[in-house]
Amino acid sequence: MSDRLSVLKTYKLYVGGKFPRSESGRVYEVTDSKGNWLANAPLSSRKDARDAVVAARKAFGGWSGATAYNRGQILYRVAEMLEGRREQFAAEVAEAEGLSKAKAAAQVDAAIDRWVWYAGWSDKVAQIAGSANPVAGPYFNLSSPEPTGVVAVLAPQESSFLGLVSVIAPAIVTGNTVVVVTSEKSPLPALSLGEVLATSDLPGGVVNVLSGRVNELGGPLAAHQDVNAIDLAGAAGDAELVKALETAAADNLKRVLRPQAVDGSAVDWSAGPGTERMLAFLETKTVWHPMGV
């Protein structure tokens, strides 16, 4: 019988490409589906949220200015890294969601495939979101999509990994940067994803991962003057919270993507992703140019 004690993992936030603890020093207990202790996760504060927004804004220029092809390559690299750590994520998802090993592995496989799917859209989304517009005159009139900016994302509560990937990937593939608030009950797969992102060529600050209370972090992010859009997927089932966050976001005209199921009915994150979430965080720039010049 071995006397060796296993090395417990210290989970940290992922902000600006680094792994800080919460500035408040707070943590909260994360348990499995049976109530057994799994780990202590950082309990992010409003200061952590502000720091994450600063990091996301700093990264926006470089990421939005990268070629679409390059962004697609980086998203594909994330999928490659996840494939190599498939067993680790399957174990974390199984513990977080109370799934069998086979079902958890299927969730991880679907999440990896989703990274690849969105990577393929990186240099194609402009073809469906842009256009050459007919005009009555000697002009070209061209519309093209551009990223909105910094997007705050409340990750789905019930799908700790597949749902998480389903809200992050479409936001960043088009050039946005994001601040993600993880599933409050099951944050560990999301915090581990930060380790993958840090080693996958993704520039620091493009994705920033915070764990903690949605009620505590959602409001400050919705009201933050330097956040351009917010995805309320993680507020599904709480109509009062959705309304409060929409009201806070309206103060500076943020784009708001409402939850698919405000009434709390389960969202099937394994369903085909579609283009809705990519298009939700794009702006359209129209340019007029005289012919022959």
User: Tokens 């409340």 correspond to what residue?
Assistant: 154
Delimit the domains of the chain by residue range: 27-290
pLDDT tens readout for residues 35-87: 899 999 999 999 999 999 999 999 999 999 999 999 999 999 999 999 999 99
**Residue 60 CB contacts under 8 Å (≥ 6 apart), including other chains:** 147, 149, 150, 176, 177
Rounded distance between C-alpha atoms, residue 115 and residue 108, angstroms: 11
pLDDT tens readout for residues 187-229: 999 999 999 999 999 999 999 999 999 999 999 999 999 999 9
- Two structure tokens written together for 103: 């079902």
- Strand pairing class (27-31; 37-42): antiparallel
pLDDT for 293: 55
pLDDT for 204: 96
Mean pLDDT, residues 220-239: 94
Decide if 106 contacts 121 (C-beta within 8 A): no
Q: So what CATH class is 27-290? A: alpha beta
Rounded distance between C-alpha atoms, residue 69 and residue 246, angstroms: 34
pLDDT tens readout for residues 142-165: 788 899 999 999 999 988 899 999
pLDDT for 91: 94
- Pick the closest to residue 59 from 16, 9, 10 (CA basis): 16
pLDDT band at 135 (very low <50, low <70, confident <90, very high): confident
Q: What percent of the chain has pLDDT over 70?
A: 97
Task: State the pTM of this model.
Answer: 0.92
pLDDT > 90? residue 8:
no
Q: Which residues of 263-288 are buried (b: 16+ CB within 10 A; e: fewer)?
A: eeeebebeeebeeebbebbbeeeeee
**Residue 41 CB contacts under 8 Å (≥ 6 apart), including other chains:** 11, 27, 28, 30, 187, 188, 191, 211, 212
Mean pLDDT of the chain: 91
In 10 A of CB 254, how many CB atoms?
24
